[in-house]
Protein backbone atom coordinates (compact mmCIF):
# COMPACT_ATOMS: atom_id res chain seq x y z
CA UNK A 1 0.00 0.00 0.00
CA UNK A 2 1.39 3.39 -0.96
CA UNK A 3 1.76 6.00 1.78
CA UNK A 4 -0.90 8.68 1.74
CA UNK A 5 1.31 11.38 3.25
CA UNK A 6 5.00 12.18 3.36
CA UNK A 7 6.54 13.58 6.53
CA UNK A 8 9.89 15.32 6.82
CA UNK A 9 11.39 14.79 10.28
CA UNK A 10 14.21 17.15 11.32
CA UNK A 11 16.33 16.73 14.45
CA UNK A 12 20.03 17.11 15.18
CA UNK A 13 19.88 14.17 17.63
CA UNK A 14 20.18 10.94 15.58
CA UNK A 15 18.38 8.88 18.25
CA UNK A 16 15.34 11.18 18.32
CA UNK A 17 15.36 11.35 14.53
CA UNK A 18 15.29 7.55 14.29
CA UNK A 19 12.59 7.10 16.96
CA UNK A 20 10.24 9.70 15.45
CA UNK A 21 10.77 8.30 11.94
CA UNK A 22 9.95 4.78 13.15
CA UNK A 23 6.83 5.96 14.98
CA UNK A 24 5.54 7.58 11.80
CA UNK A 25 6.51 4.73 9.49
CA UNK A 26 4.60 2.19 11.57
CA UNK A 27 1.10 3.41 10.57
CA UNK A 28 2.24 3.86 6.96
CA UNK A 29 3.51 7.40 6.55
CA UNK A 30 6.36 7.87 4.12
CA UNK A 31 9.21 9.44 6.11
CA UNK A 32 12.16 11.53 4.97
CA UNK A 33 14.73 12.70 7.54
CA UNK A 34 17.13 15.62 7.84
CA UNK A 35 19.75 16.33 10.52
CA UNK A 36 19.50 20.12 10.31
CA UNK A 37 17.36 22.96 9.03
CA UNK A 38 19.49 23.58 5.94
CA UNK A 39 19.15 19.98 4.77
CA UNK A 40 15.40 20.24 5.43
CA UNK A 41 15.12 23.34 3.20
CA UNK A 42 16.91 21.48 0.40
CA UNK A 43 14.51 18.53 0.75
CA UNK A 44 11.48 20.83 0.77
CA UNK A 45 12.72 22.39 -2.47
CA UNK A 46 13.17 18.98 -4.13
CA UNK A 47 10.34 16.77 -2.88
CA UNK A 48 6.64 16.83 -2.10
CA UNK A 49 6.24 16.98 1.69
CA UNK A 50 2.87 17.10 3.47
CA UNK A 51 4.08 17.47 7.05
CA UNK A 52 7.18 18.90 8.70
CA UNK A 53 8.10 17.66 12.16
CA UNK A 54 11.03 19.60 13.53
CA UNK A 55 13.02 19.97 16.69
CA UNK A 56 13.03 23.57 17.89
CA UNK A 57 16.57 23.87 19.28
CA UNK A 58 19.13 23.00 16.61
CA UNK A 59 22.43 24.59 15.64
CA UNK A 60 22.36 26.86 12.60
CA UNK A 61 18.83 27.18 11.27
CA UNK A 62 16.64 26.32 14.27
CA UNK A 63 13.16 24.83 14.11
CA UNK A 64 11.26 28.09 14.42
CA UNK A 65 13.32 29.67 11.63
CA UNK A 66 12.84 26.53 9.57
CA UNK A 67 9.08 26.72 10.12
CA UNK A 68 8.95 30.28 8.81
CA UNK A 69 11.03 29.41 5.74
CA UNK A 70 9.05 26.23 5.11
CA UNK A 71 5.73 28.13 5.19
CA UNK A 72 7.09 30.66 2.70
CA UNK A 73 8.04 27.79 0.40
CA UNK A 74 4.93 25.71 1.02
CA UNK A 75 2.04 27.70 2.51
CA UNK A 76 -0.16 24.60 2.91
CA UNK A 77 2.52 22.59 4.73
CA UNK A 78 1.53 21.22 8.14
CA UNK A 79 4.09 21.70 10.92
CA UNK A 80 4.62 19.99 14.28
CA UNK A 81 7.39 21.27 16.55
CA UNK A 82 9.01 19.02 19.13
CA UNK A 83 11.14 20.40 21.92
CA UNK A 84 12.69 19.64 25.27
CA UNK A 85 12.58 23.35 26.06
CA UNK A 86 8.99 24.57 26.32
CA UNK A 87 10.10 28.22 26.46
CA UNK A 88 12.03 27.80 23.22
CA UNK A 89 8.83 27.03 21.36
CA UNK A 90 7.32 30.47 22.00
CA UNK A 91 8.48 31.65 18.58
CA UNK A 92 7.03 28.60 16.85
CA UNK A 93 4.39 29.62 14.36
CA UNK A 94 2.06 27.76 12.08
CA UNK A 95 1.89 24.52 14.01
CA UNK A 96 1.43 22.40 17.08
CA UNK A 97 4.14 22.10 19.76
CA UNK A 98 4.89 18.79 21.51
CA UNK A 99 7.29 18.42 24.41
CA UNK A 100 10.03 15.79 24.49
CA UNK A 101 10.02 13.01 25.24
CA UNK A 102 7.26 12.55 22.70
CA UNK A 103 4.97 9.60 23.27
CA UNK A 104 4.14 7.59 20.16
CA UNK A 105 0.36 7.78 20.64
CA UNK A 106 0.49 11.55 21.18
CA UNK A 107 2.64 12.07 18.10
CA UNK A 108 0.39 9.96 15.86
CA UNK A 109 -2.76 11.67 17.19
CA UNK A 110 -1.22 15.12 16.60
CA UNK A 111 -0.09 14.20 13.08
CA UNK A 112 -3.57 12.91 12.24
CA UNK A 113 -5.18 16.09 13.59
CA UNK A 114 -2.78 18.34 11.66
CA UNK A 115 -3.28 16.46 8.40
CA UNK A 116 -7.07 16.56 8.86
CA UNK A 117 -6.93 20.37 8.97
CA UNK A 118 -7.18 22.04 5.59
pLDDT tens for residues 55-85? 999 999 999 999 999 999 999 999 999 988 7
CA 37 to chain centre: 11
Q: What is the pTM of this model?
A: 0.91
pLDDT band at residue 1 under the 50/70/90 scheme: very low
In a domain, 1, yes or no: no
73 phi and psi angles, rounded to 5 deg: -75, -40
Phi, psi (degrees; rounded to nearest 5) at 116: -75, -25
Q: Which CATH number does the domain housing residue 18 bear?
A: 3.40.50.2300
What is the reported pLDDT for 111? 95
For residue 89, is it within any domain?
A: yes
Number of domains in the chain: 1
Identify the domain containing residue 94 by its residue range.
6-116
- Biggest CA-to-CA distance, the chain: 40
Query: Tell me, what's the pLDDT at 86?
Result: 63
Separation between Cα atoms, residue 90 and residue 107, nearest integer Å: 19
For residue 71, being part of any structural domain is answered with yes
Residue 34 in domain: yes
**Domain assignment of residue 32, yes or no:** yes
Amino acid sequence: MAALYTALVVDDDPLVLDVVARILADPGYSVVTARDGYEAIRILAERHIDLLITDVKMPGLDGTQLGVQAKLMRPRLHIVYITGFADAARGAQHGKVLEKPVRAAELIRTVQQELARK
